[in-house]
Amino acid sequence: MVRENPAALLARLIPGQSFALTGGTVIHDDGSQSASDIIVGTDGRITVVEPFLDTGSCGACIDISGMLVSPGFVDAHQHLDKTGVLRFTPNPSGTLQGAREAFAKYARTAGPDDIHKRATRTIGRCLSRGTTAIRSHINVDKDAGFHGIETLAAIRDAEKHHITLQLVAFMTPHPGQDFEWLGNNIDGAVALADAVGGTPAVSEDPPRYLDILFSAAVKSGKPVDLHLDEHLNAGVHLIDAALDRVERFGMQGRTVFSHVSVLSALPRREFQRIAERLDKLNVGVVTLPAANLYLQGRDYEMLPPRGLTRVAELHRAGITIATASDNIQDPFVPTGSGDMLEIARWTLLAGHLRGDELSAAHSMITTAPARLMGLGKDYGFRPGARADFVITDCIDSDTLIAGGPDRAFVLSNGRLVSQSTTQNIRLKEDA
């Protein structure tokens, strides 16, 4: 019997119809992989995942034998208010400070329609490449005002059936930061967001700034996600200052440090001391290889550093570490397609993971960011979780990371949202 094309069957699914995917190899939370059938209910959530299920009562049964089913990719750190502004924001120095200044200038005139158009375009591209959840930092400051956070909050709520969006109120400091403005506006911004964020290293008074951010988090009951020490100056790091506040404000397990590039500039013994504190206080890390490779180390005359944090050592120390896109086509990172497999490969190469750690790179775009975003039981292969899958023709997670698929289907909330195929067309030899 000829097996009907799964693409055609997936495309014919009626919204709200239950269905079964049978015979695929599922990548479980712990990285193990085994053949399992999946039943998706009428609400777009998983009903059951087990081998050899009786799928007779399902509205449709789709045989995906020989295919690999990954949970949807999770991009734990983007900037959807900045995406796509590259051509309007020249950054001749190519530095982080140059990018900040270029965007601050643009943000003064960026209206809601402009932000909406750029953000939805990038969200669509990410979804089509398998990303089913994004956490985005959104500038809230005297330049950007509330345009970004209000626009993205509306998109988050309107698109919740298509993609899981979390917003971080990114209370951006500038030289001469107005702490009164910050104090008057942070609660309003956090109310629209899902987490509290900021960049302590740029603040003129980091301890005061950190206290304001953590206080707002406790007051709102929302987690903290900091851009922490996105630089390589070992003499001025703020990791301990931030960890002290995690402890004092009781934010253990609810705090993420993004970047932490400076860890690579510290002696190993000092890194080990900090890693023990991260572990003890249950603080996770997000590495952003695209931004670090592009922006860091530009003042080195020779052998510029990678600029990433100690990716492999954090992973091996048992710290939850995710990798993410950061900026997509703006003055901070001029490139970016929303493809998390691309980001995973850069992380593996620039972060010095080994060839036997390809599955770690897969966890860094799936289970690790899901944990850091607190997606909980909504994520992964368990009853009740959203049916967010990337189904490919790869044989396992190693081949998915190493080379990617020739054929892929993306399901979000139980609906097919994209399919792609690379066709190998053989040229006819001249007779």
Choice between 326 and 388, CB closer to Zn ion:
326
Nearer to Zn ion, 203 or 413 (CB): 203
CB of 310 to Zn ion, least distance (A): 19
Contacts for 329 with CB less than 8 Å, ≥ 6 apart: 83, 84, 85, 86, 335, 336
Which two structure tokens, joined as six digits, stand for 276? 């023990």
Nearest residue relative to Zn ion (C-beta): 326
Strands (E), 28-145: 33-40, 46-50, 61-63, 68-71, 73-78, 131-139
Q: Which residue has the tokens 């209370």?
A: 171
Identity of residue 401: I
Give how far Cα 169 sits from Cα of 47, 135, 217, 242, Å. Answer: 35, 11, 11, 17
Angstrom distance (rounded) from CA 253 to CA 235: 27
Neighbours of 324 (CB within 10 A): 26
Question: Of 194 and 326, which has the nearer Cβ to Zn ion?
Answer: 326
Write down the least CB distance from residue 315 to Zn ion, Å: 20
E strands, 303-406, are: 321-323, 389-392
Contacts with Zn ion, residue ranges (CB under 5 A): 326
Backbone angles phi, psi at 132, to 5 degrees: -110, 0
| Residues 197 and 169: beta-carbon distance below 8 Å | yes
* Least distance (Å) between residue 54 CB and Zn ion: 47
Residue 189 structure tokens: 């911004």
User: How far is residue 415 from each of residues 9, 133, 174, measured CA to CA in Å?
Assistant: 12, 15, 43
Alpha helix (H) residue ranges in 166-299: 179-192, 206-220, 239-248, 268-280, 289-295
Whose Cβ is closer to Zn ion: residue 99's or residue 358's?
99
Of 291 and 387, nearer to Zn ion (C-beta) is: 291
- Report d(CA 125, CA 131) in Å as an integer: 9
Contact 260, 245 (CB under 8 A): no
**Smallest gap from residue 139 Cβ to Zn ion (A):** 10
Using the minimum distance from each CB to Zn ion, give the nearer residue, 36 or 255: 255
Amino acid at position 196, single letter: V
Residue 259, token pair as written in the block: 């970047």
Tell me how far, at minimum, the Cβ of 137 lies from Zn ion, in Å: 5
Nearer to Zn ion by Cβ, of 37 and 326: the residue is: 326
Q: Identify which of residues 75 and 326 has a Cβ nearer to Zn ion in the complex.
A: 326
Which CB, 229 or 326, lies closer to Zn ion?
Answer: 326
Residue type, 2: V
Taking the complex as a whole, the smallest distance from the CB of residue 325 to Zn ion amounts, in Å, to: 9
Rounded Cα distance, 295 and 298, in Å? 7
Minimum distance between the CB of residue 79 and Zn ion, rounded to whole angstroms?
6
At closest approach, how far in Å is the CB of 82 from Zn ion?
9
Q: Least separation, in Å, of the C-beta of 382 and Zn ion? A: 30
- Token duo for residue 390: 């990337």
| 287 vs 397 by CB, closer to Zn ion | 287
Whole-number minimum distance, CB 376 to Zn ion, in Å? 24
The angle subtended at Cα 97 by Cα 96 and Cα 103, nearest 5°, is 90
